[in-house]
Amino acid sequence: MDYHDIALASIKHHAALGLDKTKRATPRGGRDGACTNRPRLDFSLVAGYAAGNWPMILMQSGIAADYLTRKHGKCPGCGGRDRFRFDDLDGRGTFVCGRGGDQMAGDGFALLAHVHGWHTSEALRFVADVLGLQAGAEAPARRAQPPKAAQTPVDRSEAVRRIWRTASPLTGDCAGSRYLQGRGLTPTSYSTLRAHPALPYWHDGQEVHTSAALVGIAQDVHGIATGIQRIWLDGNSGKAIIEHDGEQLPCKKMLSRHGGAMAGAAVRLGEPADGRLIVAEGIETGLACRELWPAWPVWCALSTSGMKSLQMPENVLEVVIAADHDANQAGEIAAKALADRLTADGAAVKIALPPMVGDWLDVLNGKEASHVA
């Protein structure tokens, strides 16, 4: 099946799947040239005026005040129950997002990019517009801040290696295979997927649960392992229900070698030897895409943030982004952010969106249930 047949095959098997028109590269310097003639803004100048005003700026962008309480809670960018905290250190709009175990952090500009899928230049222009700034404005007087001591990044490489070594390839009757069968998938062996017989679950320094788990290893663009995705299972055909102190904890967590290591990485279900690649979000969705389009390799970005930052080899020239159809459009926003970046690098990109709210695993199961030829 060649690149352009993917839309036709999708329609034959699943009615209308919402493939966007192929996106082609646009000139750098602004989408469709919209910002080409606008004067350049000085980043440090805009940041100086934004200091101390970030809650107002972020709310102007559509981020609700409930996310800006300086308490752990749901992330406005990638979801989750308690992975996000807006702390606004030194008035810079800073935040921390756990992203299922792989921590990312940044200032207010980075938060705008994380939530809205913007490039830095777009976030800069938005902040300047909110503050009424134009190129050439004078910098505000700022109080000098004492330099902060550099923090040594935590190295979790040994923990990643230990979990991967003690897990085993999928056998067809192990807990990992039973889980995939329960999700409507055909268990297939991949070198990047393993099953762990009894993986401890740690929360706030305590081991609160132990059960079998599906483990996927993520690799960066050079093929170097950067961390793992862990999905705790109930031992039959479902995910584990993990509760602690009256709170239900996420059964899916990432573990990176160090903070930020998972940015740009993916769990690979095949290699793009012919220059073609499908990008999906979750492992289960990626496996569904492998069944829907068996001739195409699939890389799983693991989250909307991971999709926005995904890096791929230069030999990848044709990409289909199998986006999740989320009610809040988070999957589609992440897909468009990735598509914009890839087309700027010269790749031909399609965004494939399921016709209903859900993902491509839902489409696969719908196809099988209706016996569409």
Q: What is the DSSP string of 192-247?
A: TEEEEEEEEEEETTEEEEEEEEEEEEEE-TTS-EEEEEEEEB-SSSSB--EEETTE
Dihedral of CA 240/283/113/356: which sign? negative
pLDDT tens profile 149-201: 545 567 899 999 999 999 999 999 999 999 999 999 998 889 999 999 999 99
Question: How many residues in total does the chain contain?
Answer: 373
Chain mean position to CA 139: 36
Write out the two tokens for 191: 């070198």
Instruction: For the chain, give the mean pLDDT.
Output: 82
pLDDT at 102: 58
pLDDT at 285: 97
- Give the Cα separation of 322 and 279 in Å (integer): 6
- Give the Cα separation of 40 and 46 in Å (integer): 11
pLDDT at 82: 67
Strands 247-249 and 242-244: antiparallel
pLDDT tens profile 68-105: 988 888 888 876 666 788 998 888 999 988 765 556 78
**Residues in CB range of 358: below 8 A, 6 or more apart:** 324, 325
pLDDT at 135: 61
The residue ranking higher by pLDDT, 297 or 247, is: 297
Q: Is the pLDDT of residue 7 over 50?
A: no
- Look at residue 113 and give its three-state secondary structure: helix
C-alpha closest to that of 126 among 56, 226, 228: 56
Greatest alpha-carbon pair distance for the chain in Å reads 69
* Contact assessment for residue 295 and residue 289, using Cβ atoms and an 8 Å cutoff: no
DSSP H helices in the chain: 5-14, 43-50, 54-60, 108-116, 120-131, 157-165, 175-182, 283-292, 304-309, 330-344, 360-370
- Give the Cα separation of 61 and 112 in Å (integer): 8
pLDDT tens profile 100-136: 555 678 899 989 988 887 877 888 888 988 888 766 5
